[in-house]
Amino acid sequence: MKNYIKVERAKKDITQATLAEKIGVSRQTINAIEKGKFIPSTLLALKMARYFETPVGEIFELEEEE
Amino acid sequence: MKTYLPHYFKRIGILFVFIAIVLSCIGAVDDFRQGWVDGGNSADHGYKELKAHPELYQTINPYLTDEEVKLYVSISLLFSILGFLMYLFSKEKIDDEYIQHIRLKSIFQSLLVSWLIYAAVKLIFPKYQLDGIYILQMQLIVYVILFQHNKSVEFSEEEIALEN
């Protein structure tokens, strides 16, 4: 699964630590999600979408083979 | 996996395990002394067996009675299991779903590793008696080691990634 968290962060000009604080997780969790090492739960994805004020589908995207 | 205890219970758990180690050493003092006399402890002939057959081996004059040893070992086991369970069920500083993922992964790995250790012990020392409660205790010890390892590996990779 691809994600555009880094892009969304850049748009808002915030660090991983700030995003982590806003949605109540650790910075390591944000980094692991950004790198594609960890797939977040629906709840966490929705929290991110709410924070970025964008649909979940624009932050997370399925890849061809998925 | 849900964690129910606050973060500071982790330290209380570690303290309980430390008390358990001390009590266990006190309970096994005569076994240690026998091992010192013999030049090593034998898995085939435990201290109790040696005491029952004094004609076979030179036995030491014990400091503790059998009842005292049993009491120390039982209390030690209780502290140890309680300590490890406190550690298992206490929260991290930031307890989110990623740390829960690492926790679950560590529990699964500890199950496999403890079974491997059990199999290895049975193969290498066939006469060695491993009671059920000690297998459960071993599983908890393996979990604590693996959880710390997995956490440090996952988190250090994050640090490296951030530096680059």
Contacts of B76 (CB under 8 A, 6+ apart): B19, B20, B21, B23, B24, B27
Closest Cβ–Cβ partner in A25, A31, A41 for B162: A31
Domains (range + CATH), chain A: 2-61 (1.10.260.40)
The string of pLDDT tens digits covering residues B8-49 is 999 999 999 999 999 999 988 888 887 777 776 665 666 566
Position B164 confidence tier, pLDDT thresholds 50, 70, 90:
very low
Higher pLDDT, B14 or B65: B14
Using N-to-C axis directions, what is the helix angle for A16-23 and A27-34, rounded to 10°? 110
Residue with tokens 């910075």: A27
CB atoms within 10 A of CB B33: 16
Distances (CA, A) of B41 to B38, B112, B144: 7, 28, 27
Residue B98 at interface with chain A, using a CB cutoff of 8 Å:
yes
Closest Cβ–Cβ partner in B96, B97, B161 for A31: B161
The string of pLDDT tens digits covering residues B123-138 is 998 877 777 888 888 9
pTM summary value:
0.79
Q: Which of B116, B115, B102 is nearest to B156 (CA)?
A: B102
